[in-house]
């Protein structure tokens, strides 16, 4: 999906996301494993907020997202910041680059937006292909616990003053899918106008995610409960996986 209007208010509605903490954590974890930072793929980069923070950490960042609307917002911020981040519009399951990168990240449940396990497998395969040997890949996944108990059939309200958002979830246990409907009321003078957006997130078992990583040349080095140093529990909502490419795959193996 393109995310349309959602892209224009995405940064406003994610002001509560601690991007600096995520960037600090990535920098710390990668710093333990690699000597030189080099190029980094920010996969599902959205409007580029994390991309710019990682650039400040010394990474040469390539932000990749399939939403032209999200990337358009990113390009505007890039111009304002005088950043050198490169943005590419691609579907992650069709990732195709001219060379390899030293590391990659995929955060904020981007994986959960992929609608089939087969597509996630293909995504991991392409990340492996375009990652240098021993390159690091950090990703996070919303857990089944979060889908069933936090997202569930719940409704959330966000009021930023200029934007009022009603976020309604509908969880389908059999399909293992959470359908998300967003209604935006945006202030325009003394009035508000309404925009709507819909998309879905998909629930995947973490063991299955790890298995697909391993089948595509990765070794999972560690697992965390979110972006701290806590050990995952049965009530973990966001699983963070740190993986390393330890085995080669070949281009002719790609579908």
Query: What is the tens place of the pLDDT at every residue in 179-206?
Result: 999 999 988 888 888 999 999 999 999 9
Q: What is the pLDDT of residues 46-84, one digit of tens each?
A: 999 999 999 999 999 999 999 999 999 999 999 999 999
- The percent of residues in the chain predicted with pLDDT above 70, rounded, is 96
Residue 250 pLDDT: 67
Fill in the DSSP letter of residue 230. P
Average pLDDT over residues 133-162: 95
Residue 97: CB atoms within 10 A of its CB come to 16
- Alpha helices of the chain — where are they, by DSSP H? 4-13, 19-33, 49-56, 68-81, 117-129, 144-146, 206-215
Whole-model pTM? 0.94
The CA distance from 159 to 90, in Å, is: 32
Residue 252 has pLDDT above 80, yes or no: no
Q: Which residues pair with 39 in a beta bridge?
A: 60
Q: What is the pLDDT of residues 94-112, one digit of tens each?
A: 999 999 999 999 999 999 9
Q: What is the pLDDT of residues 20-37, one digit of tens each?
A: 999 999 999 999 888 789
């Amino acid at each position: 999906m393109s995310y349309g209007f959602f892209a224009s208010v995405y940064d406003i509605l994610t002001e509560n996301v601690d991007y600096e903490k995520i960037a600090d954590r990535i920098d710390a974890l990668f710093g333990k494993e690699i000597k030189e930072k080099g190029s980094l793929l920010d996969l599902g980069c959205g409007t580029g907020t994390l991309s710019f923070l990682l650039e400040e950490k010394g990474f040469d960042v390539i932000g990749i997202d399939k939403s032209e609307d999200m990337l358009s917002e990113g390009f505007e911020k890039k111009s304002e910041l005088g950043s050198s981040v490169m943005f590419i519009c691609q579907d992650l399951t069709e990732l195709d680059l001219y060379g390899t990168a030293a590391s990659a990240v995929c955060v904020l449940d981007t994986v959960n937006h992929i609608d089939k396990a087969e597509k996630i497998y293909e995504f991991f395969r392409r990340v492996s292909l375009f990652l240098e040997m021993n390159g690091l890949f950090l990703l996070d996944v919303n857990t089944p616990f979060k889908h069933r108990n936090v997202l569930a059939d719940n409704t959330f309200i966000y009021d930023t003053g200029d934007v009022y958002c009603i976020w309604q979830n509908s969880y389908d246990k059999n399909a293992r899918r959470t359908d998300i409907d967003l209604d935006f009321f945006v202030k325009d003078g003394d009035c508000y106008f309404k925009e709507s957006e819909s998309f879905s997130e998909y629930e995947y078992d973490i063991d299955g995610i790890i298995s697909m990583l391993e089948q595509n040349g990765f070794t999972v080095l560690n697992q965390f409960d979110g972006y701290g140093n806590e050990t995952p529990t049965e009530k973990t909502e966001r699983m963070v996986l740190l993986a390393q490419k330890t085995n080669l795959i070949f281009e002719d193996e790609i579908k």
